[in-house]
């Protein structure tokens, strides 16, 4: 039960920080390789990509311009500089209209997701839990995260989560213990 609770609490967590990685050109790849790459991105990530495109396709034209691309990529938690956004527009705007379509946006975002380092993501998640910046997740931190995510966990369930994974028996979860928890889940 507690491991499932950690999965639930962590999977509802949206990492708002910026993620490393960059976009690569798919144009030289065979179509089968592109489809294989798309399969490596989770269903939830593909849904996020689609939702982001729909939100930032402000005119509902099925395309986005340079400014919309830049804002959408940043809104999804990835870093993008002006020059990179201009290069991506040049690379993916094959008809030179000043716009890219959903397929191009999806290719860009898939590459960014694939370039992520899972350990960096785990560390970012830990930092979000560790709101006191003490290097430990306290009962109070865990309770706040669960509440913010709408999880209905009792104090006993939250304490049980900590007790199960608190290897040094200090009543809190340090970064090493958190990494161990995340490695045991299907999330990473």
- 18-40 pLDDT, tens digit each: 333 333 223 333 333 344 444 47
Q: What is the mean pLDDT of residues 160-187?
A: 87
pLDDT of residue 6: 55
pTM: 0.53
Please determine, for residue 83, whether its predicted confidence score (pLDDT) is greater than 80. yes
Q: What is the mean pLDDT of residues 101-105?
A: 96
The full 3-state SS of the chain, as one line of letters, equals CHHHHHHHHHHCCCCCCCECCCCCCCCCCCHHHHHHHHHHCCHHHHHHHHHHHHHHCCCCCCEECHHHHHHHHHHCCECCCHHHHHHHHHHHCCCCCCCEEHHHHHHHHHHHHHCCCHHHHHHHHHHHHCCCCCCEECHHHHHHHHHHCCCCCCHHHHHHHHHHHCCCCCCCEEHHHHHHHHHHCCCC
- 130-156 pLDDT, tens digit each: 888 999 999 999 999 888 888 888 999
Comparing CA positions, the residue from 188, 181, 149 lying closest to residue 163 is: 181
Rg (CA), the chain: 19
């Amino acid at each position: 039960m507690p491991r499932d609770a950690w999965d639930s609490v962590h999977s509802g967590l949206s990492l708002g920080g910026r993620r490393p990685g960059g976009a690569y050109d798919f144009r030289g790849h065979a179509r089968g390789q592109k489809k294989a790459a798309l399969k490596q991105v989770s269903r939830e990530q593909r849904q996020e990509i689609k939702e982001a495109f729909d939100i930032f396709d402000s005119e509902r034209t099925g395309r986005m311009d340079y400014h919309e691309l830049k804002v959408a990529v940043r809104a999804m938690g990835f870093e993008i500089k002006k020059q990179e956004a201009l290069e991506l527009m040049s690379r993916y705007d094959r008809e030179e209209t000043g716009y890219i379509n959903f397929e191009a946006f999806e290719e860009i975002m898939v590459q960014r997701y694939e370039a992520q380092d899972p350990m960096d993501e785990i560390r970012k998640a830990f930092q979000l839990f560790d709101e006191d910046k003490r290097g430990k997740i306290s009962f109070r931190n865990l309770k706040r995260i669960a509440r913010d995510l709408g999880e209905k966990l009792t104090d006993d369930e939250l304490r049980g989560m900590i007790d199960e994974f608190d290897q040094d028996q200090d009543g809190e979860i340090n970064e090493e213990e958190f990494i161990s928890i995340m490695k045991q889940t299907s999330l990473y």
